[in-house]
Structure 1
Amino acid sequence: MSLGHALRRIVEEYPLARTEPPAGHPLAAVIRKGAPDELRRALAGLDGPFLVKGSPGRGTRWAAVPWLAVFDPAITTSATRGYYLVYLFPAHREQVHLSLAQGTVAAIREHGPRAGAYLRASGDALRARLADLAERLPVQSIELGSAGELPEGYEGAHILGLSYTLAELGDERRLRTDLATGIAAYRALKARGGLCGLPGL
């Protein structure tokens, strides 16, 4: 299995998998272990350390939006706070987003119903810090096709990134080059102050 194959499996199989119990489901195992293993292999040529995790949901419920994330442990080890690089899988179309994103749950806890507006405003400020990378990571907004606090929070938390169709996931070289670009943006944001200096922080 390659990174592209792992991503493609999630895109293609998730809609049907969600109609079945997640406990012991082979796709849940792909998201938790198989895909993270492929992502670690793709990261091997890049200086770390990186923590890689995949989430198909919790307990007996599939996630509305499954994810596969790369964390710099000096910044965060969780998708709830800080910022990180993540593959997000929309519910409504055969597509994957590679997103440099802000932690959503922490923003929801701190800002309540204003979290979405806060995340979008801070995303605008963070994009300005990464203006030199905008051409290589041109997607400035994403749609995940699911209603609810978390999916809408993920949309608002997006800073910049890329989107792939199913056909584009067959280009492993491109995926690895784009991953390296995403990691470069992650490091650049860290070097330029991360979330420091944003309103409300």
Structure 2
Amino acid sequence: MEVLNKKRVSSKKLTLTAMMVAITVLLDYTIGVIPLPMVAITIVHLPTVIAGIVMGPVMGAVVGFCMGAASLIHSITRPPSPLSVLFINPIISIVPRIFIGVMAYYGYEFVKKLFKGQKESVGVFIGAAIGSLTNTVGVLGMLYLVYADKIEQILEGTTAKAFVITVASTNGMAEAIAAGIVCTPIVVAVKKIYK
């Protein structure tokens, strides 16, 4: 009986993971990246956040890897901004994305333990925001560390530091708040069904 339950849980996890990967790819090829003149605001990371909080850090990392791979392919086939050429490097496009679901899960778990009597939605909101900020900090941090000079060449007249600070404080914060707002009702509903 225990083996049967483990298989059922594994099937649930695999099915939900496959759904999150499919939604990620669908978002990436449709409305998931909103291009602006110098940057692209992404909502593609939301399935990764959801996967991390609902299924744990391993499945969150799997969906994050797939998101990063989709980002790399996107940068090659249909670059949304002048900086897209830098995302052809897997250190920029894939590595930071692996940690989105992982950090969302641990942020959620931390808040859940810290505020035991609170509604689950508080933990989900903060976990989702942490996952989104992980994407922002990871990608911008790697861009700065690896390609600061190239950023300055591409964005003539703007320093890499100014670019990173501006994007993190505007797009990054907006994406984090949006992730919390969008992911909270979805995660709460999926968790009820998933259990």
Task: Please state which structure has a larger fraction of its residues in strand.
Answer: 1
Please say which structure displays the higher CA radius of gyration.
Answer: 2
TM-score by length of 1: 0.31
TM-score by length of 2: 0.31
